[in-house]
Amino acid sequence: MDTRYHTSMKEMPENDRPRERLEQYGAGALSTAELLAIALRTGSHRDSALSLAEKLLSRFANLAALSRASIQEMCAIEGIGPAKATQVQASLELGRRLMEQGADVRPRISSPAEAARLFSSKMQYLDQEEMHVMLLDTRNQCMRTETVYRGNVNSSMIRIAELFRPAIKDNAPQIILAHNHPSGEVTPSADDIQVTRDAVRAGELLDIAVLDHLIIGTHAFLSMKERGLGF
């Protein structure tokens, strides 16, 4: 008896193939595994692309975990090689950039929640702390964001000058700072408050307004400005 698995989705009934289902019903009708199968394009000698997609989701639990996986970690799954792993990473990165960009290439930031949405797309699932800075023009439009620090956000270790380097380079009049808590909690520490206080004072001297300092957690954020911490 032939015990080999299907090697191609062509062996599946046409109405069950992810690509055909996407064409007929639209991407929103497909499961996460089916969308991943399209990103993978082909299967292996043992598994169809859909089976490989299901293995990826089983190994990494969800898309958030998969987005953090390295190429080496994905390649540890039988049937996933560097080419397939990079295809998956590219697809997930496109989705992340779409979330970051939103409907407007240069979105106007009018509330802490709007700023947090842009930061969260790439910060809420990080394994270590990072400090990012958002540059804004005089109309409160986001010019860009940049990572300025990796490691524990400790007031004795962060050089406040580094937080303003991108703004000085791009002549941005306003900035919003954000750092993540890998634990997912957003309770500020004494160091978080001190870094905020130091940044606000430095901004006054440089004539660069620090509009807020956000703490990004898992599906949550905290605005230091709203809480009056360091401002």
Distance CA 38, CA 31 (A): 11
Nearest to 140 by CA among 182, 177, 107, 94: 107
Tell me: pLDDT of 165 over 70: yes
User: What is the structure's pLDDT at 72?
Assistant: 93
Q: How much is the mean pLDDT over the chain?
A: 86
Question: Is the pLDDT at 2 greater than 80, yes or no?
Answer: no
- 166-198 per-position pLDDT tens digit: 999 999 999 999 999 999 999 999 999 999 999
Whole-number pLDDT of residue 30: 80
pLDDT value, residue 67: 86
pLDDT, tens only, 16-53: 578 888 887 777 778 888 899 999 988 888 888 999 99
Is the dihedral angle over the CA atoms 53, 57, 60, 65 positive or is it negative? positive
Least confident stretch, 37-41, 58-62, 88-92, 189-193: 58-62
Written out in words, the top-level CATH class of the domain with range 9-101 is: mainly alpha
Find out whether 138 and 173 touch, Cβ atoms under 8 Å. Answer: yes
pLDDT score recorded for residue 68: 86
Confidence of residue 88 (pLDDT cuts 50, 70, 90): very high
91 Cβ contact partners less than 8 Å away, ≥ 6 residues apart: 36, 39
Write out the two tokens for 204: 């006054």
Kindly state the average pLDDT of the residues 58-68. 85
| Statement: residue 6 has pLDDT above 80 | no
pLDDT value at residue 7: 43
Q: For residue 150, what pLDDT is reported?
A: 87
Task: Identify the burial level of 120 via C-beta atoms within 10 angstroms of its C-beta, where 0-12 means exposed, 13-18 middle and 19 or more buried.
Answer: buried
Q: In angstroms, rounded to a whole number, what is the distance separating the alpha carbons of residues 112 and 101? A: 16
- Once rounded to an integer, what is the mean pLDDT over residues 120-140? 90
Domain with CATH 3.40.140.10 in the chain: 112-227
Token digits of residue 97? 């950039």
Q: What local confidence, expressed as pLDDT, does residue 62 receive?
A: 81
- R_g over Cα of the chain: 22
Using the predicted structure, report yes or no on whether residue 96 has a pLDDT greater than 60: yes
Residue-level pLDDT at 3:
39
- Cβ-in-10-Å burial (0-12, 13-18, 19+) of 117 comes to middle
pLDDT at 225 over 80: yes
136-153 pLDDT per residue, tens: 999 999 999 999 988 876
**CATH architecture for residues 112-227:** 3-Layer(aba) Sandwich (3.40)
Q: Output the pLDDT for position 76.
A: 93
What pLDDT sits at residue 10?
52
